[in-house]
Amino acid sequence: KRIKRMGLKERVKIINGDLFKIDLAKYDVITVYLTVPALNVLKDKFKDFLIKGGRIISHDYGIPGFKPILAEPVVEGGRRHFLYLYTVKSVH
């Protein structure tokens, strides 16, 4: 509903699915909120996605072995979170 209110309906697609099975090649940016062990398992898939020009935003947990180009603290509801941005530069 928030996406629609913000006028982003044509630009944003929310997918609730199995990240191990989804073909990331169709997308420019993905956001994830996964544990470090899950991020570690998906590293190779993420690396391929980033090398092809994709961007990844990870909420609270960094991707092991990748260097974020930006790590931004965000405070919401009195709680501090971090958002990590990864691009092709993160894997080279």
| pLDDT digit string, tens, across residues 18-49 | 888 999 998 999 999 999 999 999 999 999 99
Q: What is the CATH number of the domain that holds 52?
A: 3.40.50.150
- Asked whether the predicted pLDDT for residue 9 surpasses 90, the reply is no
What value does the mean pLDDT take over residues 65-79? 96
Q: Which residue has the higher pLDDT, 17 or 44?
A: 44
Q: Which domain holds residue 28?
A: 15-91
The mean predicted confidence, pLDDT, of the chain is: 93
- Name beta bridge partners: 72: 83
pLDDT band at residue 64, thresholds of 50, 70 and 90? very high
In a domain, 62, yes or no: yes
Tally the domains of the chain. Answer: 1
Tokens of 53: 């020009």
Nearest to 87 by CA among 49, 50, 39: 50
- pTM, 2 dp: 0.87
